[in-house]
Amino acid sequence: MSPDQPRLVDLYAAQVATGIRPGTLRVWLHRGKLTRHGHDHAGRVLVDLAELEALTAPKAA
């Protein structure tokens, strides 16, 4: 997978990868802090894991 391609996962897989609860991710989606990338075949919201990791990365001082 190329670095330019988004790594799309549902909110539950995002929780496994980051430890952030799906409810929190839904709030971030609603507030525009995180981008929604459509839905999977089961109707679950997809987010870009790289975007989420960048959002939660520690900020430099």
Contact of 7 with 48, CB cutoff 8 Å: yes
Contact of 14 with 54, CB cutoff 8 Å: no
Q: Domain residues of the chain, as ranges?
A: 8-56
pTM above 0.75, yes or no: yes
Contact of 46 with 10, CB cutoff 8 Å: yes
**pLDDT value of residue 5:** 82
Say if residue 2's pLDDT is above 70.
no
pLDDT per residue as tens digits for the range 7-48: 999 999 999 999 999 999 999 999 999 999 999 999 999 999
All residues at 6 or more sequence positions from 43 whose CB lies less than 8 Å from its CB, including other chains? none
pLDDT band of 57, cuts 50, 70, 90: confident
Q: Roughly what angle, to the nearest 10 degrees, separates helices 11-18 and 49-56?
A: 40
